[in-house]
Structure 1
Amino acid sequence: MNRKVLNPWVLIPGCAVAAVTTLAVVVRPWAAEAGDVAGESRQKCTSSVPYTAGTGGYHTYRIPAVVRTRAGTLLAFAEGRSGGSGDSGSIDVVLRRSGDGGCTWGPLQVVAAGKGDTRGNPAPVIDPRTGDVVLVTSYNSGDVTEARILRGEVTDEQSRRVFVQTSRDDGRSFSPLREITPSVKRSEWRWYATGPGHAVALARGPHAGRLVVPANHSIAPPAGSPDTGREPKYYGAHAIYSDDGGLSWRLGFVEGAYEGRNNANESSAAQLPDGRMYFNARDQLGTSAGNRLDTYSSDGASTQDRAYEVQPALDDVPMVQGSVLQTAGERGRLLFSGPSVPTERASMAIWSSADAGRSFVKALTVSARKAGYSDLVQSDAETVGILYETGVAGPYESIEFRRMALRTLSPRGE
């Protein structure tokens, strides 16, 4: 496995962890994963910065995704962009691991090397049967752009393709990339994106154990459309799933109205306490009055209960990716994260729903700084973490991890 190394620890004021200055001195880089740092130390830690632009051999880090393994390790994935901050070119999928709840992070690992091409949109999930980390990612040639793919100006080899990898050692190493495109992408689709953000392992119901990855795609403009030859955005949403721990994959529901009113893109998912799945998506330049869309599935993402519709309770969110998380417990709430300024990517916030996503109330503003993409994870029974893009001058200066007490994410402190 290829590896690039950053300073192996990012230290947060108040965390009782000794500083080190060189990798050679680190004799316990994974000490926390065996028994965790003392509870007192973890309680004092509120945030950390696993990725900073211009470090580790990358110009920019973007597109965060985070999961908690069976051993309690947090895995923070991102895209490491070499040539600039743009979405095309030489891009790797990278990873840092934390054994102390996100206070400190181990060395940077390259999980999927682009080698001049674009690999990204990480969608990790933990297989509940084995504890394996299953990672689904997207690919395209580094020589093409999203605009060219949307216009159909590329070959199948250059266009968007889908790959899967597995880790059986708590994220320390991953299997080689294995392509699953023929199983999950229709021949007429042009653009294709997994997630981004964590995928979902179903915990209850007849499909318990199923791994579900929310995704999206685009098609060619309809015949006679004025968009022909331009950069059309006829987006649709779909899901893919595996019932055997990521060995084989199938296409689930496909929403393909392509009417331009609700253009579902960059979707995230959660399983609700009643067993249904909730999907929340970015509305990509749709004509409807809203930037967030949602839907439900009662059969493990095989079909939709209804088409994607506008979620008006999230009107403050600009056109951007967001994350959803169903928290554990009898009174667990459905959370949503995203920027909270309608006209720009700024002021990351958390919304809470007590009615399975029918309505949301803003529960917490994480930061007033610039902010972009995000991903939510429940790191223990009392704590939720958010891995999100942020900065002062712009939203892509760093990827920060913020720890939040679960009780603070209820509007009434329930």
Structure 2
Amino acid sequence: MSVQSRLITSMAVLGAAVLASTGTALAAGGSGHRPASCTSSVPFRAGEDGYDTFRIPSAVRTPGGTLVAFAEGRHDGEADSGDIDVVRKRSDDGGCTWGPLGVVAAGGGDTRGNPAPVVDPRTGHLVLVTCFNSGQVTEAQIMRGEVTPEQSRRVFVQTSRDDGHTFSKPREITADVKRPDWRWYATGPGHAIALTHGPHKGRLVVPSNYSTAPPAGSSDTGQEAKYYAAHALYSDDGGLHWKLGFVDETYDGVINANESTAAQLPDGRIYFSARDQNGTSTGNRLDTYSSDGGATLDRPYAVQPTLNDVPVVQGSVLQTEGGRHAPLLFAGPSVPTARAGMAVWSSTDAGAGFTKATTLSELPAAYSDLVQPDRGTVGVLYETGDEGTYERIEFRRLRLDGLTPHGD
């Protein structure tokens, strides 16, 4: 055998060993916190683990460095209602490999979803807020007020004290965070935030949205989408007790703040970004700020014109670590008329304006969540597929220094 042939054979054997090692790590959940060296992975794929479809991704990094990815596991199809569980997978290597699927909140024929995870900075516990409704009713029925309170949207909280391995049973907090006249209700979608500095340090803030009935005597009956609006809920004791924060009550149809996400800026303010649910204003993304920990807003929601490429869809924001000049990131599809082309935008002026930093793919794409696995890396957990939008939930790792102007 020639030297070249022996070299090729040796490389093939080495490659097989690496692949075998990767497969073992995947089966074991990537244990051992190995250094991450991958570009992408797929924690959730349609048709696997007993589920027809996975949707509504969210992600969080625990104090131990574990990434926990959440999703709705939809048993019977893509529909937003039905037999739906909240599920999770864990990664100990920065999102390169994922352990086995775990059910966090079982629907049991009903709908549990909209996972909004956050780590309590005081205890290190993972706090998860989710929503519930009867699997026999639809969002449209809930918005028209055709359901009982028991069938309608309700809010629950759970806690994990072991880095997302196990969770407490769902505990209902609906009476504390949902007004009696509200109909639809959704936390996130995406991660919640913990305030790490300022007068409300330690507060957990969950960006959310709701709907209400058209005013009595209104001709808008059947047009309830106009009455979507954003709000927030918060806890100052690690998720034990909850209060309503700001409530957007602008129902003029010009802007309809719907699914929302949040980030705490280096100056202590909270930046809120929301989907504009078919408002008549130009643009599909809205934003605002809060200077008091989410209790009130500094101004009403307004169109963010530098994100006009984003279609009507959920998006995610993340204030990256790295000091007061670290960028604020936004992720979402980048085709104005279609859910496709997942991209990341960067802001170096606290959300006043965004510049597209990179496009991950031209493939179909929809909901997403941003997380920072380590100081130099950003992860995008997002819905995508080769032919359809919901074929898989992919995790893409990006170098942070490639997402800022001129690599700053």
What TM bracket, shorter-length normalisation?
Answer: over 0.9
CA contact (8 A) 1:219 1:235 kept: yes
Alpha-carbon offset, residue 31 of structure 1: 2.6
Given the alignment of the two structures, is residue 266 of structure 1 paired with residue 259 of structure 2, yes or no?
yes
Runs of 4+ with >2 A deviation:
13-18, 28-32, 223-227, 229-233
Structure 2 match to 1:354: 348
Structure 2 match to 1:4: none
Alignment of 1:107-146 (within 5 A): 107-146=100-139
Per-residue CA deviation, residues 250-270 of structure 1 (Å, 9 max, x unaligned), is 000011021111100110000
In 2, distance between residues paired with 1:372 and 1:31?
A: 30
Alpha-carbon offset, residue 411 of structure 1: 2.9
TM-score between the two structures when normalised by the length of structure 1 = 0.92
CA contact (8 A) 2:186 2:209 kept: yes
Decide which of 370, 380, 404 is 2:374's aligned counterpart. Answer: 380
In 2, distance between residues paired with 1:231 and 1:187?
A: 17
Task: Give 1 or 2: higher helix fraction.
Answer: 2
SS at match of 1:190: strand
Letter aligned with residue 342 of structure 2:
M
Alpha-carbon offset, residue 16 of structure 1: 8.3
SS at match of 2:141: helix
Structure 1 match to 2:8: none
Structure 2 match to 1:293: 286
Structure 2: segments with no counterpart, 5+ residues:
1-16
**1:229–1:351 CA distance, 2 compared to 1 (3 A):** closer
TM-score between the two structures when normalised by the length of structure 2 = 0.93
Per-residue CA deviation, residues 183-215 of structure 1 (Å, 9 max, x unaligned), is 000011000000010000000001000000000
Structure 1 match to 2:388: 394
Letter aligned with residue 23 of structure 2:
A
In 2, distance between residues paired with 1:29 and 1:274?
A: 37
CA contact (8 A) 1:141 1:158 kept: yes
Decide which of 180, 199, 207 is 1:206's aligned counterpart. Answer: 199
Percent identity over the alignment is 68
CA contact (8 A) 1:281 1:293 kept: yes
Decide which of 84, 87, 96 is 1:94's aligned counterpart. Answer: 87
**1:232–1:359 CA distance, 2 compared to 1 (3 A):** closer
Given the alignment of the two structures, is residue 73 of structure 1 paired with residue 63 of structure 2, yes or no?
no
In 2, distance between residues paired with 1:83 and 1:29?
A: 27
Alignment of 1:5-404 (within 5 A): 17-20=21-24, 28-29=28-29, 31-32=31-32, 36-37=33-34, 39=35, 42-43=36-37, 45-229=38-222, 231-330=224-323, 331-404=325-398
Q: Comparing 349-358 with 215-224, which one deviates more in the overlay?
A: 215-224
CA contact (8 A) 2:30 2:98 kept: no
Letter aligned with residue 301 of structure 2:
Y
* Number of residue pairs matched by the alignment: 391
Letter aligned with residue 97 of structure 2:
T
In 2, distance between residues paired with 1:203 and 1:151?
A: 40
Root-mean-square deviation (CA, aligned residues, Å) is: 1.6
Q: Comparing 390-399 with 219-228, which one deviates more in the overlay?
A: 219-228
Letter aligned with residue 205 of structure 1:
G
SS at match of 1:191: strand
SS at match of 2:176: helix
Alpha-carbon offset, residue 227 of structure 1: 2.3
Per-residue CA deviation, residues 247-297 of structure 1 (Å, 9 max, x unaligned), is 000000011021111100110000000000000000001111110000000
Per-residue CA deviation, residues 355-378 of structure 1 (Å, 9 max, x unaligned), is 000000000101111100000001
Alpha-carbon offset, residue 236 of structure 1: 1.1
SS at match of 1:63: strand
Alpha-carbon offset, residue 14 of structure 1: 7.6
Alpha-carbon offset, residue 413 of structure 1: 1.4
In 1, distance between residues paired with 2:300 and 2:19?
A: 46
CA contact (8 A) 2:54 2:390 kept: yes
Per-residue CA deviation, residues 17-55 of structure 1 (Å, 9 max, x unaligned), is 44249x9xx6x54632xxx11x3xx23x11000000011
CA radius of gyration, larger in: 2
Letter aligned with residue 390 of structure 1:
T
In 1, distance between residues paired with 2:30 and 2:326?
A: 31
In 2, distance between residues paired with 1:400 and 1:130?
A: 30
SS at match of 1:392: coil
CA contact (8 A) 1:200 1:270 kept: yes
In 2, distance between residues paired with 1:14 and 1:391?
A: 27
Letter aligned with residue 407 of structure 1:
D
SS at match of 2:183: coil
In 2, distance between residues paired with 1:232 and 1:282?
A: 12
CA contact (8 A) 1:122 1:137 kept: yes
